[in-house]
Structure 1
């Protein structure tokens, strides 16, 4: 009898673990700016309707392990949503090590928006004028569980794309 209970509990855990999905949300620019990474973080990455909390700007070359500094040359950024303009003051006091630029945003948007950053100076002195960027909310879904990595028929185990595409097409395993 004890073996049956153990087998039942183990089976329930495996089947439940296989069906769990981890959904994470972020904001990202549609356009690519050479050498600079710009990402928006929601207050809660696990909640679809969470508003934009911060914007992170970093040098894309930092992935090689060397930490290159950035400097935002303008003292404000602008967000435009539904014809309204929001001016967000920026101070580099918030950045402790200058490896990234951190801009705190307070409950302005939770969907698509335009972002005007201005000019960013790289560690080599080069100044990059960043054009207005169209940001969209992205979703990343990953299967979690004991058997998530085992897939003999080659179906994908994760999804990454805009929230708009996901709502339109859904997540279809092939």
Structure 2
């Protein structure tokens, strides 16, 4: 019984968890009014496909929501030399890629076109280049318990290519 208890204590003390969160990040676009984000089907798996692209108004908050409408009925995505036409949902700020049977797992270029904010402003989004990025964080049972206010420790945030180079 004593050995089991000691083994359990050692397991808790020396066990840490490493969390990987993957997504695609636009590398060539910054706008003061809108932000463009992506989601993967499973954000903790490197080869998980792109699920959606989300365009949102930076003024949006829980107290005062702001909407964005994608004006084009379709967008174009180019990945690995293949071109895909993706239908958009009218008056939506989300572009669902995976639901339409398109599997994107590598860097891609998206041609979204124009979006409209709820104040009437129309923004023409240039072709966007997206790279797969990873955020890596380590959690430790003991250190997180001792330092209750500061959970986890960031290990890396950047492109998947750079992360793989760093690990070598």
TM-score by length of 2: 0.83
1:138–1:161: 8 Å Cα contact kept in structure 2?
A: yes
Over 6 Å off, 4+ runs: none
5+ residue gaps in structure 2? none
Deviation at 1:109, TM superposition (A): 1.4
Q: Which residue is 1:7 aligned to?
A: 6
Q: Which residue is 1:166 aligned to?
A: 163
Q: Which residue is 1:102 aligned to?
A: 94
Deviation at 1:125, TM superposition (A): 0.7
Deviations 1:94-153 (A, max 9, x none): x4xxxxx111113331111101111111111110000011001111111123235468xx
Which of 20, 23, 47 is residue 23 of structure 1 equivalent to? 20
- Note the 1:1-174 alignment, pairs <5 A: 2=1, 5-16=4-15, 18=16, 20-30=17-27, 31-63=29-61, 65-92=63-90, 95=92, 101-105=93-97, 106-149=101-144, 157-158=153-154, 159-170=156-167
Count of residues paired in the alignment: 158
5+ residue gaps in structure 1? 96-100
2:41–2:51: 8 Å Cα contact kept in structure 1?
A: yes
TM-score by length of 1: 0.80
Deviations 1:44-98 (A, max 9, x none): 11111111111111112225742101111111111012332211011237x4xxx
Deviation at 1:170, TM superposition (A): 2.9
Give, in whole Å, the separation in 1 of the partners of 2:22 and 2:126. Answer: 24
1:77–1:87: 8 Å Cα contact kept in structure 2?
A: yes
Give, in whole Å, the separation in 2 of the partners of 1:33 and 1:148. Answer: 39
